[in-house]
Amino acid sequence: MTGKRILLGISAGIAAYKSAHLARLLKKAGAEVRVVMTEGAQAFITPLTLQALTGEPVRTSLLDPEAEAGMGHIELARWAELILIAPATADLMARLAHGHADDLLTTLCLASEAERVMAPAMNQAMWRHPATQDNARRLEAHGWRLLGPDAGDQACGDVGPGRMLEPETIVNELLGFKSPGTAPAVPFDTAPVSDTHTSDAADAHGMVVTITAGPTREPLDPVRYLSNHSSGKMGFALAKAAAERGARVRLISGPVALETPAGVERIDVESAVGMLEAAQEAAVDSDLFIGCAAVADYRAEQVAEHKIKKTAGDDALTLRLVKNPDIIATIAKNTAGKARPFMVGFAAETRELERYAQDKLNRKNLDMVVANDVGQAGLGFGAEDNAALVLWRETEGTPPGRLELPPQSKGALAATIIETALKRLHARQGSSSSSMPPQAKQ
């Protein structure tokens, strides 16, 4: 990041206090930093603070007589190589999504051809609102990269997605911006800075998380295979959310056309058998294992050596299929009594969602299950949004814990699922003789 020209935009959210630390970290990483603040942002943090940290004047006005030819927005738009807005409020996202240019920050965003990144920060209900989700998708379509938001306790007292990512996490994301899928060579410590609203129960720093994602392909012959409609988006969103909480993440993926989240180790597989082998190896030192992949239930008993040809006079083709291994049930069973990961399964259903989810929770010896109705239009396979019912084991003899998550972006849903899993994992560790992760015990 040495010499990279970064324009840091700050909008009117309580998370603006984190922007001072973010500016310091960007400078420490070698970047040149200039700050633009909205009028509302100045109610949360003063321009003088940012000026002292960056060594540059802070811009707040669209019509600045001291700017070059009085055209401050054009001057800054040409100067910036990267525009980073942190925090980005719901209001600012809405204005940028619809092309408004009514203050300095929004105007220079429209006038610049720089890379554009924002870290949303707002109340959880505001983030989940369909209008905000529509704006987020519109911004991404316009070339913005959204980092977060994180999930956890909020200043207003709510709990859920909407917290701005920690400054260290944002900088690490930027360090990996040019090389998706690889961790930065010298990452900043992602342990949260002092923040009375941070939920320690949802911290993953130092943990190992393994996630399976996407479909599997079961070959029939050299050119055909059995598969399903899974895009892998949910599993990749979970990997991103876990990495943003400081976890070391292994993502075992079937064939998908998705970019690996920054800082995540990706392992590509094709078949269910290949995914099982990778999962068994990865589960050995994992604290949390999430089976999100849509694994084919069956495979061909025999794979044809050559392409299967149509035969004249035959209007039907008979295939003999055999059952594939149940990956998450195998991991849950074979690691019992060892350093067993906290096991989270997914259930894609088209009817009787809760009954089938609870059955899967018990039958496969899971700690938590996330069920979604893939029969709903606009949700599930291939879609950008999803909804879920989350069930988890409580104490012996009591009904499972239950959380309903309404339709929302898969990124927001993933943040809440990871938060819930980590809280249950910490609760389980707290009730055991030691709360150390498996790899620390070895």
Choose the weakest-confidence range: 91-100, 259-268, 323-332, 391-400.
391-400
Tokens representing 406 are: 């309404």
Distance of CA 439 to the CA centre of its chain: 24
65-79, 83-97, 125-139, 329-343: segment of lowest average pLDDT: 65-79
- Mapped onto helix, strand or coil, the DSSP state of residue 416 is helix
Q: Which helix (H) or strand (E) holds 151?
A: strand 150-153
| Distance, CA of 285 to chain centre | 22
Alpha-carbon span 372 to 237, nearest angstrom: 15
Model confidence at 436, in pLDDT bands (50, 70, 90)? very low
Who's near 26: CB < 8 A, 6+ residues apart? 1, 6, 8, 33, 84, 171, 174
Largest CA distance in the chain: 85
Gap between the Cα atoms of 177 and 262, Å rounded? 7
Taking the C-alpha atoms of residue 116 and residue 168, their distance in angstroms, rounded to an integer, is 18
* Helix-strand-coil split of the chain, %, nearest 5: 35, 25, 45
292 labeled binding residue: yes
Do the annotations mark residue 328 as ligand-binding? yes
Residue 189 pLDDT greater than 70, yes or no: no
Phi and psi (nearest 5°) for 374? Answer: -80, 0
Q: Find, among 111, 192, 120, 194, the residue nearest to 160 by Cα.
A: 120
Q: Tell me the pairing of strands 115-120 and 82-88.
A: parallel
Cα separation, 243 vs 249, whole angstroms = 6
d(CA 320, CA 323): 10
Domains by residue range for the chain, with CATH: 5-192 (3.40.50.1950), 202-302+317-441 (3.40.50.10300)
133 to 93, 116, 145, 384, 388: CA distances (angstroms):
10, 18, 14, 10, 17
Cis ω before 149 (30° cut-off from 0) = yes
The annotation status of 293 as a binding-site residue, yes or no, is: yes
| pLDDT of amino acid 96 | 94
For residue 346, say whether it is annotated as part of any ligand binding site.
yes
Higher-confidence residue of 315 and 156: namely 315
Identify whether 156 is a catalytic site residue: yes
Question: Hey, what amino acid is at 8?
Answer: L
How far apart CA 156 and CA 329 sit, in angstroms, is 40
| Exposure on the CB side of residue 284, measured as CA atoms within 13 A | 6
pLDDT tens, residue by residue, 216-237: 999 999 999 999 888 999 999 9
Question: What pLDDT sits at residue 166?
Answer: 87
Confirm if 151 and 415 have CB atoms less than 8 A apart. yes
Average pLDDT value for residue range 191-207:
52
Residue 109 counted as an annotated binding residue: no
Alpha carbons 87 and 170: distance in angstroms, whole number: 11
Helix axes 104-111, 90-97, angle to 10 degrees: 40
- Taking the CA of residue 134 as centre, how many other CA atoms within 13 Å lie in the half-sphere pointing to its CB? 6
For residue range 93-116, what is the model confidence (pLDDT) as tens digits? 999 999 998 889 999 899 888 999
Q: Is 307 marked as binding a ligand?
A: yes
39, amino acid identity? E
Q: What is the pLDDT of residue 173?
A: 81
| 253, 243 Cβ separation under 8 angstroms | no
End-to-end CA distance of the chain, in Å?
37
Is residue 442 scored above 50 in pLDDT?
no
- In whole angstroms, give the CA distance from residue 260 to residue 237: 10
pLDDT above 80: residue 66: no
Backbone φ and ψ of 352, nearest 5°: 45, 55
Query: Identity (one letter) of the amino acid at 25?
Result: L
Report residue 185: phi and psi, to 5°. -65, -40
67 or 370, which is more confident:
370
Quickly state the pLDDT bin for 63 (edges 50, 70, 90). Answer: low
Is 177 annotated for ligand binding? no
Q: Which amino acid is at 158?
A: D
Q: Which residues have CB under 8 Å from 383's CB, separation 6+? A: 233, 410
Please report, as a single letter, which amino acid is at residue 362.
Answer: N
Length of the chain: 442
Copy the structure tokens of residue 323.
């059952």
Q: Between residues 275 and 153, which one has the greater pLDDT? A: 275
* Active-site option among 43, 131, 156, 308: 156
Is residue 334 within 8 A of residue 352, CB to CB? The reply is: no
- pTM of the complete model: 0.55
Return the residue matching tokens 């922007």: 19
Measured distance CA(149)–CA(161) in Å, rounded: 6
